[in-house]
Amino acid sequence: MSQALPATAVATVRPARRRRTSSGRRWTGWGFVGPFMVVFALVFLAPIVYSIYLSLYRQQLVGGNSFVGLANYTHAFGDPLFWEGVGRVALFLAVQVPIMLGVALLVALAVDSGRLYGRNFFRISIFMPYAVPAVVATLMWGFMYGTRFGLIANINDALGTHLPNPLSPSWVLASIGNIVTWEFVGYNMLIFYSALRTIPGTLYEAAEIDGAGQWRIVRAIKLPAIRGALVIATIFSIIGSFQLFNEPSILKSLAPNAITTNYTPNLYAYSLSFSGQQYNYSATVAIIMGVITMIVAYVVQLRGMRKEA
């Protein structure tokens, strides 16, 4: 992430005034950034430090809190309940994210191409689900999936088909994937679209005069130009997948048999804390997930940026 410092302007203007203001102004920036950083330290940095501390201790029935070194970590590395959840979100990531970003990219290209009738309507309508809370989205889709007054039941009744129950254990992950895709496809589309709008129109004219077809323009101009947006959207989707919590947690009341308490690592950490009171182990699980997320996000960023060179 590059940042254009206003270096040129600072260098060119007035050597005379510099003496008077330089020492005072040097710290002025902190006056603006300071408030953010104070709250940031309170709600971001302090909890991180505190959870590292927690992960090194264990609450015992006798003797209270005792230092156990990395014992919580070794326990987590051998914990099948934890790895089951990790495997599930990894599968989710591998299937759902490419589908969602692929559809988002195609729609963004279509809207940007100017070949749609009523493209503003398309853009705003497809974005709209982003404004719907995860709770409402999940309840809504959950009802539609449901056998009681769901659309699936309606379709089965009307056509005499036997569509699989979306809330059964073997289908529920796909059903969650569909909810997440629905929520975020328009948001990602808008990010890609905003990036596409920054490409100068003269480039397309030149390409067309050189005889390039539409697909060649997409491949040679548009996709390379929005690589930054693609990488960022991928990273945020990876973070979102590893953090998967809201949808399975809410869907649990509609599909209690299909979604276990360790369905995703975050759901596991949540149940450990708030139904099991195992705060130390819960913090350990959260830290391991955080580290895994950062490593994957970092690798994606490195790969994405290297191709650019």
CB under 8 A: which stretch of 59-67, 94-102, 169-177, 220-228 binds other proteins?
220-228
Q: Is 180 in the site for other proteins (CB under 8 A)?
A: no
Q: Is 308 in the site for other proteins (CB under 8 A)?
A: yes
Segment 67 to 86, residues that bind other proteins, using CB under 8 A: none
At 139, list the tokens: 């309840």
Q: Is 130 in the site for other proteins (CB under 8 A)?
A: yes
Q: Is 32 in the site for other proteins (CB under 8 A)?
A: yes
The structure tokens 């430090």 sit at 49
Longest dimension (CA), the chain: 86
Q: Is 30 in the site for other proteins (CB under 8 A)?
A: yes
Q: Is 210 in the site for other proteins (CB under 8 A)?
A: yes
Smaller CB distance to other proteins: residue 61 or 128?
Answer: 128
Smaller CB distance to other proteins: residue 91 or 308?
Answer: 308
CB under 8 A: which stretch of 58-66, 78-86, 93-101, 292-300 binds other proteins?
292-300
Output phi, psi for 235, to 5 deg: -60, -45
Segment 248 to 267, residues that bind other proteins, using CB under 8 A: 249-250, 253-254, 256, 266
Identified binder of other proteins from the candidate list 19, 63, 149, 162, rule CB under 8 A = 149
Specify whether the CB–CB gap between 130 and 186 falls below 8 A: yes
At 127, list the tokens: 């974005």
For other proteins (CB under 8 A), the number of binding residues is 132
Identified binder of other proteins from the candidate list 103, 156, 171, 218, rule CB under 8 A = 103
Identified binder of other proteins from the candidate list 59, 79, 95, 122, rule CB under 8 A = 122
> At closest approach, how far in Å is the CB of 111 from other proteins?
7
Identified binder of other proteins from the candidate list 105, 167, 173, 229, rule CB under 8 A = 229
Segment 40 to 69, residues that bind other proteins, using CB under 8 A: 40, 42-48, 50-51, 54
At 124, list the tokens: 């705003």
